[in-house]
Amino acid sequence: MAESHMETVNTEERQNDALSSSTVTTSVSVHSTSCQESYSGTTLHSISHRESTGHEQISLQVPISETLPTDMSDTTESDAEKHVPTGSSKTLVCTSPHEGRRLIRCIVPIHIDLLFTMLFTNSKFFLDFHSVRRTTDMSHTAWQQDPQSGTKQRVVNYTIPLSQSVGPKSSQVTETQVMLPCSKPGELYAVDANSVNAGVPYADSFLISTHYCISRTSETKSCLAVYAQVKFRKSMWGLVKSLIEKNTWSGLEDFYAHLERALLEEGTQLPVTKKKTRRRRRLLSVGPTGSEEPKHRISRPASRFPLPELRSPADTLSCIVLAILLFLVLLNALLYYKLWALEEWAQDSSDSFNVMDLQVLRHPPKSHDEWLRLLQQQEALHNMELQKWQKVLQAAVQLLRQTEESLSELQIAINPVVSKKVLSVLKDAFTEEAAKAEVEPVTPQADVDQLKVPDPEGEL
C-alpha cells in the first residue's frame, strides 16, 4: 500500500511539472506574439505577472478557444486584419465638433491607413492629383511632434492657378496640418488644416479652416468626411465679404468633388487582396521582421493609371479665344503678303530704269559695240516709256471727251426745260395781276368830294 501510494504521488508530481512547463511555454509564446503585434498599435491580451515562492508564474486573461487554432492548415491572416484590433471592442470617436459646411462624405474602397498615406504624405496619388489640378511649386515638411501641444504637425506650400478673368492668375497657399490626439492607426484619423493665401486681394483678411475625418468602416473600406469654414480675421465690407465667400466656396466644392472622383477611381484600380479566414497559431513564435510588414504596406500607395483631367468652362473659353486669335493672326499675315506683292509689282516697272542706270554707272561700257548695245537698250526703254505715256494720255483724252459729251448732253437737256419753266412762271404772274385788277371796284368822283371834310378857316 505504501509503495502504491508513493507511485501515485510521483505520477501526480510529474503531471504537475509537465503542466507548469507547458503553461510557461504557452505564456512566453503569447507574450512574444503580443509584443510583436503591439508594435502596430494593437493590444491583444493583458498579461499579469505574479511571483510565487517556487518560481514565476504568468497568467493569461484570454480564453483557451482563442489561443488554440481550430484549423492547423491555415495560420495566415490578411493584410487588413493585421490593423484591426481584436482585444478591445471600443469604437473611437472624433473629438472635433465638425463645424462648417460639409464638402464631402463618402465611402471609398481603400484601407484607412492607405487612404491616410495617399492624402497626407508625399505619395504618388497626391502628386498625380495636384499635377492634374495644375498645382506648382509644391513643398511640404514631414510629420513632426510639437513639443508644446504634443500633436503632430506638418506644413504644405503650393501655388494654385486661378480661373478668374480679372485679377491675378495664381495664388500661393500655406497649409498647416495638425493631427488631433484622438487619431489612432487602423481606426481613426482626424486632421485640422488651416490654409492662408497670398498674392490675391484681401489675402490677409481671411483663412480657410478644413477638418478631415477618416474612419474605418470595414477591413477594406473607409469613410472620408471633410468640413470647411471661411474665417475672417478683419472686418470687411458686406459686398467684398460675400464676393470672397462665393469664390472660396466655388473653388472648394470643385476641388473636393474632383478629389472624391479620383479616390473612387483609385479604389477600383487597387488590387483586391484575397481574404483569408482569421486563424492564428499562438504557440508559434513571431520572426523579428514581422513588425516591419504593416509599415511597409502602409507606405505603398500607387496610382497605376493617370487621373482624369477635368476641363472647366474657363479652359474651354480660353481655347476658343486662342483659336480666334490664331485665325486673326493668319488672316493678317495673308493680307500683309498680298499688300507686299502688290507693292513689289508696282515698283517693278518704275525700278527697272533705275536698276539699268545703276548697272551702267557701276560697269560702264568700254568698246564701241558695248556703247552701241547700251544705246539700243536705252532707246528700247524710252520707246516703252513713251508707249506707256501715250496709253495714259489716250485714256485721259478719252475720259475728257466722255466728260465733254456728258456735259453737252446735260446742257441740251437743261435748256428747254428751263425756258419752259421761266415762261410758265411769267404767265402765271401776269394772270394773277389781271385777276386782282378785275376784282377791285371803281369809286365815283362825286362821292369822293362828299367825303371831304370842310375847312373851318376857309369859311371865315
Residue-wise pLDDT for 342-368, tens only, equals: 777 766 655 555 555 556 666 777 788
Q: How many helices (H) and strands (E) does the chain have?
A: 10, 10
Run of H or E including 308: none
Residues 6+ apart with CB under 8 A from 373: 365
Distance CA 134, CA 254 (A): 14
* Domain layout of the chain by residue ranges: 2-68, 101-310
Per-residue pLDDT tens over the stretch 176-206: 999 999 999 999 999 999 999 998 888 889 9
For strands 152-161 and 206-216, give the pairing.
unpaired
Distance CA 107, CA 216 (A): 9
Fold of 101-310: Alpha-D-Glucose-1,6-Bisphosphate; Chain A, domain 4 (3.30.530)
pLDDT above 50: residue 81: no
If one compares 282 and 15, the residue with the highest pLDDT of the two is 15
Q: Are 136 and 171 in contact (CB under 8 A)?
A: no
pTM over 0.95: no
If one compares 165 and 228, the residue with the highest pLDDT of the two is 228
pLDDT above 80: residue 228: yes
- Output the pLDDT for position 80: 40
Most confident of 56-60, 67-71, 117-121, 308-312: 117-121
Three-class DSSP category at 193: strand
Per-residue pLDDT tens over the stretch 161-181: 988 777 788 999 999 999 999
* Cα of 430 vs its chain's centroid, Å: 93
Give the model's confidence band at 14: pLDDT under 50 very low, under 70 low, under 90 confident, else very high: low
- Average pLDDT taken over every residue of the chain: 72
- Output the pLDDT for position 263: 94
The grid coordinates of residue 30 equal 503569447
